[in-house]
Structure 1
Amino acid sequence: MTNDPTTRNPSRRLARGTAVLAGVALLTGLGVATPASAAPGTTPKPTVTAAPDRRDTTTEHRNACAVRTLITTTFADPESTSSQQLAARSVSPSAVAHGAGTTAGPEGLLAQFSADRTRVPGAHAVIKRVAADGDLVAVHWQITPDPRDERRGDAAVDLFRLEHGRIVERWSLEQPVPTGTPASGNTNTMFSDLYRPARPTAAPSERQEERNRVLAVSAYDTLFRDHDPSILDRAFDPAYLQHNPVAPNGTAALKRLFGSGAPFPAQQSVISLSDGDIVWTFSQAVGAKPGDPLLAADLFRVDDGLIREHWDVVPTD
């Protein structure tokens, strides 16, 4: 499991003012982020960097359990004494929070959960995926009034950095789950697991996880920074499964979009981690400064050297 931030202080939200940019945001959920094209005679800054110690799986597991417990316990009643005590133990008082409307420390996390529950009455926190990699823990979860219904509420990805078992930095991205019949015809939910390998495969080793991460991040950057759609033929299963309801399954639609000549703002992966067969990337506009908003969170399932499935969360404000 590898923890690989190129930039440590991105915020989470990037406004989408145009239809083209909105389209890119939705596509962001299916690729690997890329840095901006370099000026002539310069070398683009790589977004795939070496991680801190990735061999301490015991600490990674402990961090993942702590974050899972924190979310599931405190979300149910953020204002209770027990939630406040757990948050105080789990989150540093000086913990930095990135994202519009977020505030620092344990109080900020509880305030975020209270706002979620106000926005989605009767909401439950339904965790779909957790990844722990180095000092980072990422959580893909649903905020929903009905845990049995994946087509209601909000989709969220939260990223936490921990030191000595306490959260010292966090990023939060949320978007409403789209309702109605999508024009794309894609009826996959934003959370389901659909990919089935042709043959049983063993859990990837640490070395394979790192290879998967490099593949996914490089593919994202090639597509969204360098605007080179040929990567779709090299890094993606032509029939990959898409969980962004605005985009259909497969690479054909992306090829058409990038071949249309529409201008796409450059974006790149600034934080990435890999756990199991899923690579998580967090993207930012090329040229963004530390502290500028994050554009999106993207999750890619990598199997046998190809991206097979994709999920994303793209904030809309």
Structure 2
Amino acid sequence: MSTQISSQIMQQQQINKSIIRDFYRRAVAQGDIAFAEQVIADNYIQHSPGLKPGKAGVLEALHLMKQMPKPPATSTPFMRLIAEGDYVVTNLCFNWGGIQKVVVDIFRFEHGKVAEHWDAVEDQPATTLNGNAMMDGPIPVDDLALTTSNKAIARDAYQQIYIDRQRHRLPDFVLPDFIQHKPDIADGRAGLSDYLSQNSSSLSINRILLIVAEGDFVVIQSEGIANGKPAQFYEIFRLSESKLAEQWSVNRLTQ
């Protein structure tokens, strides 16, 4: 790939990030429906449960949100933005009615507009095994030159450890001081090992659906079974020293 093409791709990724950032700020927070109409494609595909299909479903939801009284903000919204190719992933949290909501959104762009969307939402529990919030930690993307290699490492790690559950491979892929934000997993490589050994009956991951990587962050969307029901899993990993260093996770049932 030529330097000029690579520069154009990176520039478009930053434009896509700006569109999504403005969508949250203007359309969601401020009720700017005209902006939403401008940036959402007419052939928009919606995968969020509870929303009507297509562009009309999003606009209807935004109209309803505009009419609802906004609860007072008790904390500054937290947002991480990760982009690769036609995809932008947001990892954010916000307080709604006294409940901390944790969200992963995946947006696909087509011809400069938002053409498809997936998401998962969970409530922050009162306590976690690791003592960490589901949403905190580093926000800026670093090590852009390592995007391709980090994506390959995360893909292999996810397949062999999270899907195939080859716990003996943990030292090859995971740092000893692995930082965990999934509430039911303890910190460290040992915490992940314990989790994988105890939860095979209640949670199984069948296959990877999508991987989006930028610098030291890699997002993996997968599907499987959680508590006996079909589910999708949205994992965000931060890599350091060519190994998994930190994990965030939000899941949702699909049926």
Q: Which has the higher strand share?
A: 2
Q: Secondary structure at the match of 2:157?
A: helix
Matches within 5 A, 1:100-139: 100-112=49-61, 114=64, 121-122=71-72, 126-139=77-90
Q: Which residue of 2 aligns with 1:314?
A: 251
Distance 2:67 2:160 in 1: 39
- For residues 142-184 of structure 1, the C-alpha deviation after alignment (integer angstroms, 9 at most, x for no partner) is 13149xxxx94210111111112101111111111112x33x2
Q: Which has the higher helix share?
A: 2
Distance 1:312 1:112 in 2: 26
Please tell me whether the aligned partners of residues 143 and 155 of structure 1 are also in contact (alpha carbons under 8 angstroms): yes
Q: Which residue of 1 aligns with 2:137?
A: 193
Matched, 1:303 2:254: no
Matches within 5 A, 1:66-105: 66-78=19-31, 83-105=32-54
Amino acid at match of 2:207: Q
2:210 equivalent among 264, 267, 271: 271
Amino acid at match of 1:297: Y
In the TM superposition, residue 125 of structure 1 has moved relative to its aligned partner by 8.3
Distance 1:162 1:194, change over 3 A: closer
Any stretches of 5+ residues in structure 1 without a counterpart? Answer: 1-52, 196-201, 287-292
Matched, 1:243 2:181: yes
TM-score of the pair, normalised by structure 1: 0.67
Distance 1:165 1:259 in 2: 44
Amino acid at match of 1:76: A
Amino acid at match of 2:79: K
Q: Secondary structure at the match of 1:101?
A: coil
Distance 1:236 1:315 in 2: 25
Q: Secondary structure at the match of 1:307?
A: strand
1:155 equivalent among 70, 79, 102: 102
**CA RMSD across the alignment:** 3.0
- For residues 227-265 of structure 1, the C-alpha deviation after alignment (integer angstroms, 9 at most, x for no partner) is 211221110011111112222111212323434585352
Q: Secondary structure at the match of 1:230?
A: helix
Please tell me whether the aligned partners of residues 91 and 104 of structure 2 are also in contact (alpha carbons under 8 angstroms): yes
Matches within 5 A, 1:194-213: 203-206=142-145, 208-213=146-151
Matched, 1:61 2:14: yes
Please tell me whether the aligned partners of residues 232 and 253 of structure 2 are also in contact (alpha carbons under 8 angstroms): no
Distance 2:138 2:94 in 1: 21
Amino acid at match of 1:302: L
Please tell me whether the aligned partners of residues 54 and 134 of structure 1 are also in contact (alpha carbons under 8 angstroms): no
Amino acid at match of 2:234: A
Amino acid at match of 1:138: V
Distance 1:54 1:258 in 2: 39
Any stretches of 5+ residues in structure 2 without a counterpart? Answer: none
Distance 2:80 2:194 in 1: 31
Equivalences, count: 241
TM-score of the pair, normalised by structure 2: 0.82
In the TM superposition, residue 76 of structure 1 has moved relative to its aligned partner by 1.6
Q: Secondary structure at the match of 1:299?
A: strand
Distance 2:231 2:200 in 1: 23
Please tell me whether the aligned partners of residues 75 and 125 of structure 1 are also in contact (alpha carbons under 8 angstroms): no
Distance 2:69 2:169 in 1: 40
Distance 2:119 2:144 in 1: 29
Q: What percent of counterpart residues are identical?
A: 22
Matches within 5 A, 1:18-29: none
In the TM superposition, residue 108 of structure 1 has moved relative to its aligned partner by 2.7
Distance 1:117 1:84, change over 3 A: closer
Amino acid at match of 1:304: E
Higher RCO (CA-CA < 8 Å; seq separation 6+): 1
- For residues 10-61 of structure 1, the C-alpha deviation after alignment (integer angstroms, 9 at most, x for no partner) is xxxxxxxxxxxxxxxxxxxxxxxxxxxxxxxxxxxxxxxxxxx865111111
